[in-house]
Every structure is written in structure tokens, then in C-alpha cells.
Structure 1
Amino acid sequence: MCGRYSLSKSKIELEERYQAEMLADFKPRYNIAPTQLVPVITSESPKGFSFFYWGITPDFGQNKPVSQKLINAKAETIHEKISFKSSFQKRRCLIPADGFFEWKKLGKKTKIPYRFTLRNEETFSFAGIWEEYETVSGESQHTFLILTTKPNELVEEVHDRMPVILSREQEKKWLDSYTSETELQSMLQPFPVELMVSYTVSPLVNSVQNDSPGILRRTSPMDQFGNYTLFG
């Protein structure tokens, strides 16, 4: 599962990285959570960042509350699921990020937050799919979710799933409507462990209300209550 990530780069850095135009008032994000409006790149508009909501409501339950929205989809079965098959074939997107968070369980009541980044601290892209549907009020809304796969050796120490991270070479193919389904599926693999690092962060990340640079700082291992622990 991937339920929280960061995009702390500036507007200029993101425009240079993706060769796409960003909204003038964009501000770095340090603790992105489901249901929030965040930037993505789609094949329909590759020269500009689109802003979609994180979380897709299944076709069979569009009136479900936000809390029941799906935020991830398993890469292993994405091409088979009726609710995702069309999006996988026609509506793929890149989700810019520079880190993601997972919580390591150390007992029934103890969890330690970790941040995972690339070793070079560069911006990367999650593989995503998006959907458009009409709200109860008749408005058009765009949403997305992040594809996940089995973890590499680094993430495995903390969680049993990790988001699919695409290489730069794979990004263009992911957005290309002519890329075969076989080739798309071949991209949905754990990211090379030797290119990643992780470290513990403050339990401030637990609250979606906290969205400041301090969340990204390396911190001695603390549980969700702010108590220091010997376990990392």
C-alpha cells in the first residue's frame, strides 16, 4: 500500500524535470494524502500538469463516501480487474514524487514512520491510472490511484507492498497509447533496491494537517505517540 507521499520540489524544478507547465501558485508538498488535489501528467496533456484527486470510487459504488475510495491498485491484477481494466488500457498517468512514507509495526500499538527516497534524491514517477466521472451535482471530476507491487528488500523491512516507480525511460512508454499490454506489465516491478534509501521521520507525518518541511527530516525512531524507541 502507498498512503502518503511527498513532492517537495519547486515549480521550476518540476517544470524542468517533466518539460511541462505548472500552475503559477504551486507550492511544494511534504505530506500528500488521499482525497487531496495533486499534480499528475497524462498522455492527453503531457505538456502541462493536471490536478486530480487521489482516490478512485469504483464504478459499482460512486456514491460511497470518500473514506471508502480506493487509493491503490495491485499491479499484478490491474489488467484483469473489471473496475480498472479500461483505465489501465486507456488512461495512464505519471504521479510525480520525491519520497513516500510507510509505517513499520512493532507490536499491536507501536508503529514507526519511515520515508523512502531515491539515493540521488531526484524526483521520480509512480505509475498511475486515472478516471473521470460525474458527481451527484453533475460536475466532472478527475481522480487517480497509484499502482503497487511486491516490495524490494529495503521496503520489505517495513511493509509488504510498495508503489511502482518508473524509470525515466519507462515514463514515456507508460504514457504512450501504443505501448503493448505485455510491455506495460513488464514495467510493474519493484524498483531496484540499490537505487533507494530509507530513514525514520517524525510522527508528525501521521496527521494530514501537518504539511511542512520538518516532516522530511531524519529523526531518531519514534512511535506514533512521539516516544523514542530503540528499534529502527
Structure 2
Amino acid sequence: MCGRYSLAKSKMELEERFQAEMLEDFKPRYNIAPSQLVPVITSDSPKGFSHFYWGITPAFAKNKPVANRLINARSETITEKVSFKNAFKKSRCLVPADGFFEWKKVGKKTKVPYRFVFLDESLFSFAGIWEEFETEKGEIAHTFTILTTRPNGLTAEIHDRMPVILKNENEEKWLNLNTSEEELLSMLSPYPDELMTKYTVSPMVNQVTNDSPFVIRKTLPMDQFGNYTLFG
């Protein structure tokens, strides 16, 4: 599962990395959570950033509350699930990020947060799909979900799933609606763990209202209560 990620880069860095224009203002985000409005690049508009809400509400469950939105989609069943298969065919997107968070269970009540990044902490993209969502007021909003896959060696130490991180050379193909299903599915494998690293962060990341640089700083291992732990 991927339930929290970061995009701690500037508008200029995003535009340069993805060769896309961002018309809206953007400030670095350190603790992105479901239901929030964040930048994506869609198959419909690959040369510009759009701002979508994280968490698809499927067509058969209109007007559901945020808690019932689908924030992740398993890549292994993406072509089978009614809630995702049409979006996989016609509405794919890149979800820019520079890190994601997972929590390691070290006891019945103890979890330690980790941040996963590239070795150089550069930008990358998750494989995403998007849809239109009808609000309770009858307005149209756009939403997305992040695809997940089995973990690589680095992530497996913490969690049994990880987000699909696309290789740079596959990003354009992911957005291209002419790319075959076979080729798309071949992209949904774990990212090489030797190109990534992880480190412990403050349990402040547990609160979605904490969206400051402190959240992504390396810290000594602490549990969700802020107590130092021997488990790293």
C-alpha cells in the first residue's frame, strides 16, 4: 500500500524534470495524503500538469465519502477489477514524487515511519490512473489512484507492497494510449532496490496536518508516540 508520499521540489524543478508546464502555483509538499489536491500528468494532457484529488471514487459508488475512496490499485488485477480496468485502458497518469512513506511494525502497538527515496533523492513518477468524480453537489472533479506491486528487497523489510515507480524511459509510453496492454503490464514491476534507499523519519508524519520540511528529515528511529526505539 502507498498511503503517504512527498513532492518536496519546486515548480521549476518539476517543469524541467517532466518537460511539462504548470500554470498553477505550487509549493513543495512534504506529507501528501489521500483526498488532497496534487499535481499529475495525464494521458489527455501530457505537456502540462493537472491538479487532481488523490482517491478514486468508482463509477458504481458515486458520492461516497473520502474514507471510501480507492487510493491504491493492485497491478496484478488492474485489467480485471471493474473499478479500474477502463481507466487503465484510457486514463493513465504520472504521479510525480520524490519519496514515499511506510511504517514498520515492531510490536503489537509500535510502528516506526520510514521514507523511501532514490539514492540522489531526485524526482520520479508513480504509475497512476485517473477518473472523473461527481461530487454531492453534482460538480465534476478529477481523481487518481496509485498502482502498487510486490515489494523490492528494500521495501520488503517494511511492507508487503510498494507503489509502482516507472522507469524514466517508460513514462512517455505509459501516457501513450497506443501502448499495448502487454507492454504496459511489463512496466508494473518492483523498482530496482539498488537504486533506492530508506531512512527513519519523525512520527510527526503520522499527522496529515504536518506538512513541513521537518517531516522528511532523517531522525533516530521513533515509534508513533515519539519514543526512541532500538528498531531501525
TM-score, structure 2 normalization:
0.98
Q: Which runs of 5+ in 2 are unaligned?
A: none
For 2:134, the equivalent position in structure 1 comes to 134
Alignment deviations for residues 32-85 of structure 1 (CA, whole Å, 9 cap, x no partner) = 000000000012111110000000112222132111111000000001111111
SS across alignment from 2:56: coil
For 2:97, the equivalent position in structure 1 comes to 97
- How many residue pairs align between the two structures? 232
- Checking the alignment, whether the CA contact within 8 Å between 2:95 and 2:128 is kept in structure 1 is yes
Alignment of 1:158-197 (within 5 A): 158-197=158-197
Alignment deviations for residues 88-145 of structure 1 (CA, whole Å, 9 cap, x no partner) = 0000000000000000001111000000001121100000000013223221110000
SS across alignment from 2:49: strand
Aligned residue type for 2:16: E
For 2:122, the equivalent position in structure 1 comes to 122
Q: Which runs of 5+ in 1 are unaligned?
A: none
Give structure 1 regions of 4+ aligned residues with deviation exceeding 6 angstroms.
none
Percent identical across equivalent pairs?
Answer: 73
Alignment of 1:7-26 (within 5 A): 7-26=7-26
For 2:156, the equivalent position in structure 1 comes to 156
CA–CA distance in 1 between the matches of 2:37 and 2:79? 26
SS across alignment from 1:48: coil
Aligned residue type for 1:168: N
For 1:213, the equivalent position in structure 2 comes to 213
TM-score, structure 1 normalization:
0.98
For 1:44, the equivalent position in structure 2 comes to 44
For 2:202, the equivalent position in structure 1 comes to 202
CA–CA distance in 1 between the matches of 2:6 and 2:109? 25
CA–CA distance in 1 between the matches of 2:155 and 2:219? 18
